[in-house]
Amino acid sequence: MGYVGLCTAATFASRGIKTIGIDIDEDRIGQIQRGKAPLHEPVVKRKLLKATTDTSEAVSTDASFLTVGTPSQPDGSIDLSYIKNATESLGQALQNKQRYHLLVVKSTVIPGTTSKTVRPVLEQSSGKTIGPGLGLCANPEFLKEGTAISDALHPDKIVIGSNDKKSANQLTRLYRRFYGTKLPPVILTSPETAELVKYASNAFLATKVSYINTIANIAQYIPGVDVNQIAGAIGHDPRIGPLFLKAGPGYGGSCFHKDLQALIHYGRDHGYDPVLLAATEETNEQQADKVVGLTEKLVGPLESKRIAVLGLAFKKDTDDIREAASIRVIDRLRKKGAKIVAYDPMAVSSFENVFGNTIELAENRYTALKEADCAIVMTEWDEFKKLKARDYIANMREPNVIDARRIYRPEEFEQLNLVAIGLGSLNQERAS
Ligand code: UGA
């Protein structure tokens, strides 16, 4: 019942499909049972989504979706322990089931996991073999945090990887029932292809972000050049497309870094070094140095400077700070002796766990700016977009602003010392 599981369960349940959400985390299950999970209240009220810590309840259903996390090990490779544990307890529960049961692997797993890890664990723990009585598919998800429900309701494709026709047919039938005439293209593949599609998708998106950040960093040296105009222009070419070309402080979130590292590691394990993917990651890491460099250019040495960081979440409309660019930037600013005061509309408490009391956390966007020598916009929250030049001038010691998310129109902020990622302005041609 993590992000993917909860959203998948909620969308199935909302269409009248009897759904059981299973997790070992009692607090989380208790919350869902009480209808506390914000996404699920109407569904829970109609008793369509039942939540439990008892895996054996899955036996009463036709299909189980495995949506546990696949975190990184210290060396970057994938940790499959949750996959193995969840599969094993499901397998044990299925031992005495007479009817057909389908296991669908939705978690992001490295190619070969469904066939070489999930299958033997499932077969051994259930005492059954994949075939007429037991099915197994890889079926990756492409949900984005913040729009997961809408993404689940309107996917651009469904990818189903299986080695037997019955499993693929059963899952296709479930999706056909769910989407009706709006069924998106269903792509039937081997389990390994389906697994790699997920990585290929995230690696491409991450590379697109690092690519536009590279162009932004070059644009920065050329007065009168704006990376947003460049992105807009190249985006008209259907071979390139307009999305995921927003320059910024680097990508964050629980997936891109983890999945790229897992894929790089997998390639290297097989004797191939995927240098493009390593460069995507390195470019992303460097983008934090870029933000700090621009800050130094604007305010001089950072020792004892008070820097207001506006936004901690890895993107707007979430309290998630996993792998957020704000963490990389704050780390670097602190190493250079800056005093940090940070504010985020939703993510402040998650941030406390990371930085403890080594940074100051402000109550609101205005108190964050008080007496600051520089403000850095790290997340594109709507409430930061509403700040006017006068708000910065009235509160800060010096109105120095780094727009790392390109949320402001520079012409409206001429009274400020505004530096924006990917905007080559006349007094910033030497920005580095
Ligand atoms: C990402 C993918 O977009 C989903 O398709 C995928 O299912 C999911 O990972 C996953 O594997 O579970 P998510 O992590 O929610 O979704 O976030 P995105 O919206 O993709 O944003 C990732 C990061 O890239 C954010 O920090 C965002 O600010 C940054 N970004 C995105 C940019 O800097 N520029 C852009 O143009 C787009």
pLDDT tens, N- to C-terminus, the chain (432 residues): 988 899 899 899 888 899 999 999 998 898 888 877 655 334 545 656 899 999 999 999 999 999 999 998 999 889 999 999 999 999 999 999 999 999 999 999 999 999 999 999 999 999 999 999 999 999 999 999 888 888 899 999 999 999 999 999 999 999 999 999 999 999 999 999 999 999 999 999 999 999 999 999 999 999 999 999 999 999 999 999 999 999 999 999 999 999 999 999 999 999 999 999 999 999 999 999 999 999 999 999 999 999 999 999 999 988 899 999 999 999 999 999 999 999 999 998 888 888 888 899 999 999 999 999 999 999 999 999 999 999 999 999 999 999 999 999 999 999 999 999 999 975 554 444
Q: In angstroms, rounded to a whole number, what is the distance separating the alpha carbons of residues 73 and 291?
A: 29
Place of tokens 């140095």: 289
Q: Is 255 a catalytic residue?
A: yes
CB 229 within 8 A of CB 236: no
User: Alpha carbon of 85 to those of 171, 199, 292, 397: distances in Å?
Assistant: 23, 23, 43, 55
Q: Which of 7, 137, 255, 374 is catalytic?
A: 255
The DSSP string of 323-363 is T-HHHHHHHHHHHTT-EEEEE-TTTHHHHHHHHTTSSEE-S
C-alpha 253 to ligand 1 mean position (Å): 7
**What are 280's two structure tokens?**
């995507």
Q: Is 143 in the pocket of ligand 1 (CB under 6 A)?
A: yes
CA of 254 to the centre of ligand 1 (A): 9
- Please give the backbone phi and psi of residue 166, each rounded to the nearest 5 degrees, phi first: -60, -45
Q: Strand 400-403 relative to strand 374-377: parallel, antiparallel, unpaired?
A: parallel
**Which of these, 40, 50, 65, 45, lies nearest to 18 by C-alpha position?**
50
CA of 77 to the centre of ligand 1 (A): 20
One-letter amino acid of 66: L
Q: Which atom of ligand 1 is nearest to the CA of 140?
A: 7
**Using a 6 Å cutoff on CB, does residue 145 contact ligand 1?**
yes
pTM of the model as a whole: 0.94
